Amino acid sequence: MNRILVGVKRVIDYNVRVRLKPDATGVVTDGVKMSLNPFDEIALEEALRLREKGLASEVVAVSIGPADVQTQLRTALAMGADRAIHVQADEALEPLDVARVLLAVAQRETPDLVLLGKQAIDADNGQTGQMLAALWQRPQATFASKIEVEGTVARVVREVDAGLETIEVDLPAVVTTDLRLNEPRYVKLPDIMKAKKKPLATQTLAELGVAPKRRQTVSQYVAPPTRQKGVIVKDAAALVDALRNKGLI
């Protein structure tokens, strides 16, 4: 393979407790720690491992968003990506428009493999990879827990409801990664310093020929209900009675 393109997204760090804005129009992001989407971090780690095995010559990270996204792209460069592309977008894009942006980047970069996290932990849509493959008219393998590349074919073990499924896809292809694929490496200070000198290009949506459209509107955000306190029962019979009283059996 010549090049691997990895999509990464800036999200609220998974250790942060998300809080709603008082007017219920979204979640609080001011002063909140932001990080790489964990699934995208796994995708990047896998790309780096493939390069280290001599199966790829270059790893390119791409992210869409405001100027602050460059912080996460620098993290991707510190992990080991060779260069990064920032697509400037001041508003959050819907999955279809994200796929269209990634398609435009892929057509310019001509990667042999596009790796994405299976979903982002903020919206949890899990749609971008599939949409990109359809627009690009290339094979796809989703929820990958193992990836092997041999020549122009990628063998992917994917997690499905019934267990594990192994499929082969011709390259170029789109693969989305699951949690059990790998453990991302720890970024060290010397790598962070080196990342500052790595190339990071900025492009606009207009330059890529993408005009986002708003297809859905969110009226309000609602916090999940508070979890009720559990009840301790003496034995199995009491448990059955409690479940029956709640109408669960």
Q: What is the CATH number of the domain that holds 118?
A: 3.40.50.620
SS3 category, 203: strand
CB atoms within 10 A of CB 166: 11
Per-residue pLDDT of the chain (249 residues; tens, 9 = 90+): 789 999 999 999 988 888 888 888 888 888 889 999 999 999 999 999 999 999 999 999 999 999 999 999 999 999 999 999 999 998 889 999 999 999 999 999 999 999 999 999 988 889 999 999 999 999 999 999 999 999 999 999 998 888 899 999 999 999 999 999 999 999 999 999 999 999 999 999 999 999 998 888 888 888 888 888 888 888 999 999 888 988 888
Q: Considering the domain boundaries, does residue 242 fall inside one?
A: no
Q: Considering the domain boundaries, does residue 230 fall inside one?
A: no
Q: Considering the domain boundaries, does residue 207 fall inside one?
A: yes
Structural domains counted in the chain: 1
Q: Considering the domain boundaries, does residue 233 fall inside one?
A: no
Tokens of 166: 């192994």
Decide: residue 31, CB within 10 A, 0-12 exposed, 13-18 middle, 19+ buried. exposed
Q: Considering the domain boundaries, does residue 53 fall inside one?
A: yes
Q: How does DSSP assign 20-47, residue by residue?
A: B-TTSSSB--TT--EEE-HHHHHHHHHH
Are residues 109 and 36 in contact, defined by beta-carbon separation less than 8 angstroms?
no
Q: Considering the domain boundaries, does residue 115 fall inside one?
A: yes
Query: Rounded to two decimals, what is the model's pTM?
Result: 0.86
pLDDT at position 27 is 85
pLDDT at position 225 is 83
Burial 114-143 (b: 16+ CB within 10 A, else e): bbbbbbbbbeeebbbbbbbbebbebbbbbb
Domain that holds residue 93: 3-224
CA separation for the pair 23, 65 (Å, rounded)? 24
CA separation for the pair 6, 61 (Å, rounded)? 5
Phi, psi of 36 (to 5 degrees): -70, 140
Q: Considering the domain boundaries, does residue 17 fall inside one?
A: yes
The residue length of the chain stands at 249
Q: Considering the domain boundaries, does residue 61 fall inside one?
A: yes
Tokens of 23: 């007017």
